[in-house]
Every structure is written in structure tokens, then in C-alpha cells.
Amino acid sequence: MTTSVHGPAEASPASPRSRRALVAGSVGNFIEWYEFGVYGYFATIIAANFFTPEGGSDVEALVKTYASFALAFFFRPVGAAVFGRVGDRIGRRPTLILVVLLMTGATTLIGALPTYATIGSTAPWLLTLLRVVQGLSAGGEFGGAVSIMTEFAPPGRRGLYGSWQSFTVALGLLGGAGIAALLATVLTADQLGSWGWRLPFLLTLPMGLGALWLRLRLDETPAFRRDREERTTAAARPAGATTRETAKAIALGAGRLMGWSAAGYTFLVVMPSYLQSVLDATFRQALIATVVANLGFAAAIIPAGALSDRIGRRAVMTSGAVLAAVMAFPLLNVLQDASVPAAAKGFAVLAAGAVVGLMAGPGPAMLAEMFPTHVRYTGLGLAYALSNAVFSGCAGLIITETIKRTGNIDIPAYYVAVICAISVFALATLRGDDHRRALRDR
């Protein structure tokens, strides 16, 4: 049975609780993606400091850096399962407080780690351990934040409210890119490589304390409170979704997100290292290109989420996946052609970012609508984490290693085009009126 989780007294467009949920839910996601962006932008510098023993090659070190990057993503599903279960049993609020503490602590410690030159082979192991903690906490972040946002969202505005979760992805990546670009401008290459790279990680500490304060003021959602009351009553309650049904929904949700995951990380995070290592761009040029792409991404997300409240999640997300598949090769050809003016290259990466935004805007609400309250945190968190583990976390490793083995510099376009094309089929299974249906209680 499908019932609404919203009532006029629970969430209205002017509800202070709705606004607090929006801000508190978004802030942890900002920190998470700020850090993951910083790690991607400084991948070549991190490789030199942690994964390059004397005599090792730069490409080999970069592959190891991305392997550590991918490992953190593969711990996201574990975090989504563990923290999702906790969030569905004891509440969204306490679980989100815990995960932001873990993320903040692990990221801050990365900024204080000794390098390979100081402690030898222990350095990359410590870095990888902290990446694992980040992966676990990040896995628990998305499901809880989206649950909070969509369960507090006013009727007919779940797409808009959920899109703020994706918008903070863009803000986090932009924040990381902006800090990296600033440091690259004011510091010399030697300063950046020796100690400057640490500053963005250390900056996470005050951000995390601010996020903690916001989440301590957060209310529990009406949907979760109602579900908890039903669990404690002696009255019979309707049967909920079975484990098999939930598993099928998780797999389908991951398939619907795979285009967003692949295109997003290829265009928005992996691109700086690709431009430097393959197309011989400078660190500053690569960061500028990434900032422009993320601006396009950010600009499209909230309009896409709001549009999906009017015409449906399927129409908006499918359009984004098709456009990403079609644009992949032309975009790469423009970047590879030295005769193309800088303005044209800028427009190309801006458009690529906007296309990813078409998938990212409606994505959180689409996932929330797939699961009932008692498994929503776990279900949508696992779908998102699995998609990101396979298609985002592995993007840098797959692209870098395949280019190394084949010499084909078009590999990023193949990666995006194929995965987005497959994602279109999964998105086609969405019902056109899902956005008009109430969230499921059971």
C-alpha cells in the first residue's frame, strides 16, 4: 500500500523544519565531495608523495593513487549497508551525526599524514586506511541525507528538495577545485608539492564542526517517527517490502544511476589528471577546465530537479544519459585538438557538466520513491553506493590503466558512451507518474 509521508502540518513550503532538513542534509554531502574532489585534483601530487618510491614511474604511482581512490568507493556499499540499517532502526538524525564525525576526522588526518619520504611504505597504507574510513562514512551519508530531505519535502517538490543533495556535490567539487586553483596560483610548484596540498584537507575540520552543529539541531522525520511507532505497537501492521524485492530495487536503482556515476566522475573529477598526463596541460589549465565543467553541472542540477517535479524523473534523466553518450566523443575531440580556441573548449566542458546535471538533479528523489520508509535509508544508500563504487570509483583506475596499456587516448569517451547507453535502458523502466505518487510508508 502506498501512503503519503507528508501532511500539511508536517511540511509546508515555509516549514522551518523543512529548511533545516535541507541545510543539515546538504552540508555533510558538501564535505564528502569536497574531499573526494580534492583527492582527485591533487592525484598527481599525492602519487608523488605517497606512491612513488625511488625508481618508480609517475604513471605507476598515479595508477596506485587511483586504486586507493577506488578502494574507498568500494567501502561505500559497506557503509551504506551498516549505517543504513542503523538509520532505518534508530533514526536518520543520530546516524547522520555519526557519519559526519567520521568523515571529518579521517579527512583532517589525511592532511597531517607523513609521506613516503618520511616513513616509507607505511605512508601509503595509512593513507589507504583513512580512505577506507572515508568510504564507510560516505556510504552512510547519502541515504540518510536524501531520506531527510525527501521525507520533509512539501508535496510536489521532492525533486527540487532532493536536487540539493546533488547540488552540494557540485558545490563540494567546485570548492575543492577553487581551493586547489588558488593554491596553485599563490604557491610555487615545490611549495604545493611539499606542504601546500595538505591545506585543503585540514580545512575540513572547521567545516565538519559546522556540519555537526547543524545536525545536532535537526529533527527526526515524521515518516520515521510514524514507522517507529508502528514497530512498537501490538496491532498488526501490513507486510513491508521483502528482502528480495528490496534487493531487486537496489540493483535497478544502481542501473538507473550508472550513467550519472560514470559521466560525472569522468567529466568532473578524472578530467584534470587526464588533461595533464595525456594532453600535457598544466595543473592550472586542468583545474580551470574542471571548474568550468562543474559550473555547468551546478547550474543544471536544481532546474533539472524542479523540472522533474513537473514532467517526471524519467524524461529528464533519460535525456541526460542520451546526451552524455552522444557528446562523449565530440567533447574529447575538441579538447584534443590544439587548433580549437580556448572559448570553444570552455563551452564544451560547460555543456558536458550541464548534461550530467540533468541526471543528478532528479536522481535523489527518484531513488527515494523506490523504497518504503523502513528500508529507505538502506535501499537508496546502497543503490547509490554500488553505482558509485563500480562506475565512479573505478573510473580513474580503468581509464588511466587502459590508456597506459592501449595508448588510445579516446578511452574516456568510450567509457562514458557505453555506460550511459546501458543506463538508458534501466531509466526506461521508470513510470512516467512516479513523481506524482506519495512516498511509500510500507
| Average pLDDT, integer, range 80-92 | 92
C-alpha cell belonging to residue 189: 610548484
Q: Among the listed ranges 39-43, 74-78, 414-418, 427-431, which one has the minimum average pLDDT value?
A: 39-43
| Average pLDDT, integer, range 13-34 | 81
CA gap 312, 75 in Å, rounded: 32
Q: Among the listed ranges 34-48, 123-137, 322-336, which one has the minimum average pLDDT value?
A: 34-48
| Average pLDDT, integer, range 157-164 | 93
Asked if residue 426 lies in contact with residue 313, where contact means CB atoms within 8 angstroms, the answer is no
CA atoms within 13 A on the CB side of 307: 17
Cβ atoms < 10 Å from Cβ of 81? 19
Taking 50 as the threshold, does the pLDDT of residue 377 lie above it?
yes
Residue 5 or residue 191, greater confidence: 191
pLDDT classification of 418: cutoffs 50, 70, 90:
very high
C-alpha cell belonging to residue 89: 532502526
pLDDT classification of 219: cutoffs 50, 70, 90:
confident
Residue 127 vs residues 77, 328, 427: alpha-carbon distances, Å: 20, 33, 37
* Angle, CA of 115, 116 and 121, to the nearest 5°: 130
Residue 78's pLDDT is 93
| Average pLDDT, integer, range 237-245 | 66
Q: Domains of the chain by range and CATH?
A: 16-219+242-436 (1.20.1250.20)
| Average pLDDT, integer, range 259-270 | 87
Residue 308's pLDDT is 96
Residue 198 vs residues 38, 69, 181, 428: alpha-carbon distances, Å: 10, 17, 14, 44
Asked if residue 200 lies in contact with residue 335, where contact means CB atoms within 8 angstroms, the answer is no
| Average pLDDT, integer, range 424-442 | 87
Taking 50 as the threshold, does the pLDDT of residue 229 lie above it?
yes
Q: Among the listed ranges 65-69, 167-171, 379-383, which one has the minimum average pLDDT value?
A: 65-69
Residue 420's pLDDT is 96
Taking 90 as the threshold, does the pLDDT of residue 158 lie above it?
yes
Residue 14's pLDDT is 46
Question: What totals of helices (H) and strands (E) does the chain contain, helices first?
Answer: 21, 0
Q: What pLDDT digit, counting tens, does each position of 337-353 carry?
A: 888 887 888 888 899 99
Q: What pLDDT digit, counting tens, does each position of 108-137 carry?
A: 999 999 988 888 888 888 888 888 898 899
Cell 553518450 found at: 325
Residue 8's pLDDT is 37
Q: Among the listed ranges 29-38, 69-78, 92-101, 184-193, which one has the minimum average pLDDT value?
A: 69-78
> With left for phi above 0 and alpha for psi between -120 and 50, is residue 238 left, alpha or beta?
beta
Q: Among the listed ranges 49-53, 75-79, 330-334, 382-386, which one has the minimum average pLDDT value?
A: 49-53
Taking 80 as the threshold, does the pLDDT of residue 378 lie above it?
yes
254 residue type, one letter: A
Residue 69's pLDDT is 65
> Which residues lie closer than 8 Å to 78 by C-beta, 6 or more apart?
135, 136, 139
Taking 90 as the threshold, does the pLDDT of residue 376 lie above it?
yes
Residue 6's pLDDT is 42
Residue 297's pLDDT is 92
Residue 99's pLDDT is 93
Residue 284 vs residues 137, 201, 422: alpha-carbon distances, Å: 31, 19, 34
Give the three-class secondary structure for 234.
coil
Taking 50 as the threshold, does the pLDDT of residue 359 lie above it?
yes
| Average pLDDT, integer, range 279-295 | 79
pLDDT classification of 362: cutoffs 50, 70, 90:
very high
| Average pLDDT, integer, range 58-74 | 67
Residue 230's pLDDT is 77
CA torsion sign for 26, 173, 352, 251 is: negative
Average pLDDT, the chain: 85
Residue 179 or residue 304, greater confidence: 304
CA torsion sign for 417, 421, 423, 424 is: positive
Residues 70/75/76/77 CA torsion (nearest 10 deg): 120
Residue 39's pLDDT is 80
Taking 80 as the threshold, does the pLDDT of residue 322 lie above it?
yes
